[in-house]
Amino acid sequence: MKASIPTGTSGLLSSVAESAFAAGVGFLASGILLAVLGKDPIKAFYYLFEGSFGSANNFTITLAYAAPLILTALTFAVGVRAGLFNIGAEGTLYVGATAAVAAGLIHLPFGIGLLFVLIAAGAAGAAWSIPAYLLKSYRGVNEVISTIMMNNIALFAMQFVVLNYLLDPARSDKSASIPVDSRFPTLLPPNLTVAIFFSALVCFGVYYYLWQTPGGYELRAVGLNPEAAKFSGISPRRPMLYAFLLGGITAGLAGAVEVAGTFTPFAIYTGLSNLVNFGFNGIGVALIGRNHPMAIVLAGIFLGALQAGASSVQIAGISFEIVEVIEGMIVFAIAAPQLYRMFRRRLK
Amino acid sequence: MSFDVTSVGAISVISLDFMVPIAMTAVGEIFAEKAGVVNIGLEGVMLTSAWFAVLIAWTVNDPYLGLIGGMAMGVAFGALHSVISVWLKGDQIISGVGINLFALGFVPFATFAVWHVSGVYPPVSFSFGRIAEISTPWAPLSYFVPMSVVIAILFWYVLYRTKWGFQIRATGENPEAADAVGIDVEKTRIIAVLIGSALAGLAGAYLSIDVVGQITKDISAGRGFIALATVVFSGWNPLVGLLGALVFGYSEGTATWLAGVPEVRSAIPHADYLLGAIPYIATLVVVAVAIGRSRPPKAVGIPYKRE
């Protein structure tokens, strides 16, 4: 993972170039795949662009998708900074969204209502991340395994909770909706809410914590070199706990953003269908954003654009999941930075 | 509720069915990790292979060719993972994430592109039925059950009782020393990854062709990750891995059986969701308890760069 952490300005520049190269590889490879399956790649990419940046309204859809993605990306990025491979954002988002809907059942005045929803989602996310910390810290269980298991547990447990306790009395396909006063205020109807700015603000907060506070310094020190950190008197346990908790909070907030800040009906559909994959896609966002909180804002908008575009790509007979196909290809290219170096040498 | 010999037998048949994909995938991954390459993309390999197996079986109307197709897809992903992690010295974990993300999108995407339906194909299960069956008093048992036992024993034998197995283990423990005595580290790793992925591919094909009879976009249901947990549980021993797969198979089989019991369903509304979480909780508990003695191969996850 060390290769993906930018150091200094020149490192930052080459990171941007590497991500751009990876995106190019991703689009090229997906274009070939589309052609193999008998679809017109040019048309597909046109609709992707049209659906995401083609109009002001489409751009607000892009931002609506970006808002939760930015937050789940933070979960992964904070983990990497602490030397952890936390892929638990997916399940933690379900838990946060469920807590947000539950908190929304209590009608509170404007402002306080949203605050309550956010606190409930963040706290639930933090709590959900504790088992992985305990298993890692006290039993040495690899967090890849524990966080994935927690994802699957959340998938079943939260459906159980929604179906039994949170269902909309009038409809059987969704939970109760979050009341208007507890939602993120709308700036530009129908899709642009304060949520995207909230996500960016959380990014800044995480950035500030990681680089401007002693706790953040310890967290990064443990991530870069746990042995050296130990020698300089930093015990790895506390930074690890904070990394899990912070990751849990951001993923929980992502759940709140998804149900209280983006699209109607401000609820959870049965099968969690409007929640799935936001956590996994956040990993792609973090990798494209090189695990840097501020770059993640841009990477989140990039992937949000793919998702928004994917809705219009369906016109061309291509399903929505083209997003993960392209994203997977991009991640392959990011996994092998050697590929970019070979390409650059060829150019010279 | 009646809990007697009949229900134990019924649970066992379901459980052994669930044991098979986890056992095969875990044994394959033990093989690859022993050579020094970890693949957290097994979930994606299983899922994509399950899809490809249905594509082949549907096209040529032959379930056996479907199984071979699934294996071939596993090998293809093994090749991709090898190129990234062995040849290009890339990050094995990120490559695995790429495989999972790709599969997550590819299967529904390609299902729609080929058959113009969303999520599930064919809408009704294949008419092939179970591929080969051993009759038991409760329900037929797939030949894959004894086959996965044979595979586990075979891979244990190769790893611990043959020269090739010794070379594989040396490559994963100390690649510098292996290189020094003339073992081709990269070639050994690539072959181990290809074989390991082939097994994950076969496991995926088994799910879609033999067990379910169709492809659904969530057919792998975390089994690739449970297989990874099984690898840790096993201490990188294929025989213990088989035992671990049996434990996880029973946790899933028992949960599935309980979800079908009328008394349970009436006592707890939507109990099937609660029960569905059991295999994953069991995985966490078992791994947490068993992990103490478990030590991974020393060089696993680290690309080998010749000085």
SS (H, E, C) B71-93: HHHHHHHHHHHHHHHHHCCCCHH
B100 to chain A: which residues are within 8 Å by CB? 280, 328
Taking the Cβ of residue A103 and every Cβ of chain B, the question of whether any pair is shorter than 8 Å is answered with no
B270 and A321: CB-CB below 8 Å?
A: no
Residue A272 is given by DSSP the state: G
Residue A298 is given by DSSP the state: H
The pair phi, psi for residue B119, each rounded to 5°, is 85, -40
Q: How many domains does the structure of chain A reveal?
A: 1
Contacts of B225 (CB under 8 A, 6+ apart): A144, A145, A148, A149, A152, B40, B42, B43
The 10s digit of each residue's pLDDT in B116-139 is 888 788 877 766 777 767 888 887
Residues 176-205 of A with CB under 8 A from B: none
Angstroms from B163 CA to nearest CA on chain A: 31
Residues 292-321 of A with CB under 8 A from B: 317-321
Domain-located, residue A18: no
Which CATH number belongs to the domain containing residue B114 in this structure? 1.10.3470
Angstroms from B136 CA to nearest CA on chain A: 32
Does B3 have pLDDT greater than 80?
A: no
Taking the Cβ of residue A152 and every Cβ of chain B, the question of whether any pair is shorter than 8 Å is answered with yes
Domain-located, residue A203: yes
Domain-located, residue B298: no
A94 to chain B: which residues are within 8 Å by CB? none
The minimal CB distance from A156 to the residues B95, B103, B274 is found for B274
Give the CA-trace dihedral at A162, A166, A170, A172, to 10 degrees: 10
- Return the pLDDT at A2: 40
Contacts of A108 (CB under 8 A, 6+ apart): A116, A181, A182
**Residues B297, A20: Cα–Cα separation, whole Å:** 35
Taking the Cβ of residue A164 and every Cβ of chain B, the question of whether any pair is shorter than 8 Å is answered with yes
B250-270 burial: b if 16+ Cβ within 10 Å, else e: bbbbbbbbbbebeebeeeeeb
Residue type present at position A155:
L
Domain-located, residue A327: no
Question: For B116, which residue in chain A has the nearest alpha carbon?
Answer: A317
- Binning pLDDT at 50, 70 and 90, where does residue B193 land? very high
Cis before A226 (ω within 30): no
- Return the pLDDT at B179: 95
Instruction: Give the H/E segment covering residue A271.
Output: none
Give the CA-trace dihedral at B40, B46, B52, B55, to 10 degrees: -150
Domain-located, residue B205: yes
Paired sense of beta strands B141-142 and B133-134, if any: antiparallel
- Return the pLDDT at B307: 67
A324 and B110: CB-CB below 8 Å?
A: no
Q: Which of A137, A145, A330 to mutate to test the interface with B (most CBs of B within 10 A)?
A: A145
B229 and A87: CB-CB below 8 Å?
A: no
Task: State the average pLDDT for chain B.
Answer: 91
Domain of residue A96, residue span: 62-321
- Return the pLDDT at A9: 54
A324 and B40: CB-CB below 8 Å?
A: no
- Return the pLDDT at B127: 66
Which CATH number belongs to the domain containing residue A186 in this structure? 1.10.3470
Angstroms from A110 CA to nearest CA on chain B: 35
Angstroms from A215 CA to nearest CA on chain B: 27
- Return the pLDDT at B1: 47
Question: For A286, which residue in chain B has the nearest alpha carbon?
Answer: B94
- Return the pLDDT at A11: 67
A148 and B225: CB-CB below 8 Å?
A: yes
**Residues A165, A147: Cα–Cα separation, whole Å:** 25
B113 and A164: CB-CB below 8 Å?
A: no
- Binning pLDDT at 50, 70 and 90, where does residue B225 land? very high
Domain-located, residue B55: yes
- Return the pLDDT at B132: 66
Is the four-CA dihedral A27, A29, A30, A36 of positive or negative sign?
A: positive
| Mutual angle of helices A8-36 and A41-53, in 10-degree steps | 130
Q: How many domains does the structure of chain B reveal?
A: 1
Domain-located, residue B246: yes
Going by C-alpha positions, the residue among A299, A254, A241 that lies closest to residue A78 is A241
Domain-located, residue B210: yes
**Residues A124, A96: Cα–Cα separation, whole Å:** 6
Q: Average the pLDDT over each of A22-26, B51-55, B72-76, B210-214 and give the range with the smallest value.
A: B210-214
Residue stretches of chain A with pLDDT short of 50: 1-8
B5 against B174, higher pLDDT: B174
Angstroms from B95 CA to nearest CA on chain A: 5
Question: For B110, which residue in chain A has the nearest alpha carbon?
Answer: A37
Domain-located, residue A296: yes
For a pLDDT cut of 70, what percent of chain B falls above it?
Answer: 95
- Return the pLDDT at A284: 95
The minimal CB distance from B98 to the residues A139, A160, A335 is found for A335
Domain of residue B261, residue span: 5-293
**Residues A316, A47: Cα–Cα separation, whole Å:** 8
A326 to chain B: which residues are within 8 Å by CB? 105
Angstroms from A275 CA to nearest CA on chain B: 14
Angstroms from B228 CA to nearest CA on chain A: 7
